[in-house]
């Protein structure tokens, strides 16, 4: 498991709701093993949705499989630049992640952190608490849904990849 941004809450004693967001195909356009920061493009409605959720007290936690690292298709430096660009675009819209966790492994590795395995939840739980009965996982793949179900940390919701506007769906 690897941390891009360790989860923190302005009120760590309070178990509020959390919104777990997959990255590719949910927050940004899924380019397939994205390595170029210039290719980072927010999906419509996402920043607005994140802002509204944060206003309602949700922690915003990114959870992403990034097997391109394990496959050698891009480097940790590439990923860092992509994430920095994403942070910048979200900040411009007045929002951002409270925490962001990713799995760098290939599927064959059988690691604990590749969704639908629940290691990314465990890692987030080391520094953040949330109320599972009020929390959600949003992804664009069945593995995201299974992740939420297996973790028992929240309800899962699968955004259709072809219509990823979370606000209207
Ligand atoms: Mg995805
Ligand atoms: Zn992993």
Rounded distance from Cα 158 to ligand 1 centre (Å): 10
CA distances from 122 to 73, 99, 125, 138 (A): 27, 13, 5, 17
Rounded distance from Cα 114 to ligand 2 centre (Å): 4
**Residue 38 appears among annotated catalytic residues:** no
Q: What is the pLDDT of residue 88?
A: 98
- Give the number of the ligand closest to the Cα of residue 64: 1
Ligand 2 is an ion; its neighbours by CB within 5 Å are 103, 105, 111, 113-114
User: Taking residues 62-89, what's their average pLDDT?
Assistant: 97
Rounded distance from Cα 135 to ligand 2 centre (Å): 23
Q: What is the distance of C-alpha 111 from the center of its chain? A: 18
Q: What is the CA radius of gyration of the chain?
A: 15
Task: Report pTM.
Answer: 0.89
**115 pLDDT higher than 60:** yes
Integer Cα distance of 10 and 26 in angstroms? 25
- What is the percent of the chain where pLDDT is above 90? 66
pLDDT tens column, 26-67: 999 999 999 999 999 999 999 999 999 999 999 999 999 999
- Give the number of the ligand closest to the Cα of residue 31: 1
Average pLDDT of the chain to the nearest whole number: 87
Q: What is the pLDDT of residue 149?
A: 82
User: Which residue out of 24, 30, 140, 144 is catalytically annotated?
Assistant: 24
pLDDT tens column, 87-110: 999 999 999 999 999 999 999 999
3-state secondary structure 12-42: CCCCCCEEEECCECCCECCCCCCCCHHHCCE
> What is the pLDDT confidence band of residue 131, given thresholds at 50, 70 and 90?
confident
Question: If phi over 0 gives left and psi between -120 and 50 gives alpha, with beta otherwise, what is residue 7?
Answer: beta
Q: What is the pLDDT of residue 155?
A: 62
**CATH for the stretch 2-8+22-125+138-158:** 3.40.50.1000
pLDDT tens column, 10-34: 666 668 889 999 999 999 999 999 9
Rounded distance from Cα 51 to ligand 2 centre (Å): 29
**Residue 22 appears among annotated catalytic residues:** yes
């Amino acid at each position: 498991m690897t941390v891009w941004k360790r989860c923190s809450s302005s009120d760590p004693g309070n178990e509020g709701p959390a919104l777990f967001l997959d990255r590719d195909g949910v927050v940004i356009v899924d380019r397939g093993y994205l390595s170029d920061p210039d290719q980072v493009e927010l999906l419509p409605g996402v920043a607005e949705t994140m802002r509204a959720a944060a206003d309602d007290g949700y922690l915003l936690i990114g959870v992403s499989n990034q097997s391109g690292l394990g496959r050698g298709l891009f480097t940790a430096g590439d990923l860092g630049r992509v994430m920095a660009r994403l942070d910048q675009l979200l900040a411009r819209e007045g929002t951002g992640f409270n925490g962001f966790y990713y799995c760098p492994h290939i599927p064959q590795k059988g690691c604990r952190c590749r969704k639908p395995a629940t290691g990314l939840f465990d890692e987030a739980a080391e520094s953040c608490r949330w109320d599972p009965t009020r929390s959600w996982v949003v992804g664009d793949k069945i593995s995201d849904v299974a992740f939420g179900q297996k973790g028992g940390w929240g309800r899962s919701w699968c955004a259709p990849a072809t219509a990823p506007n979370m606000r209207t769906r």
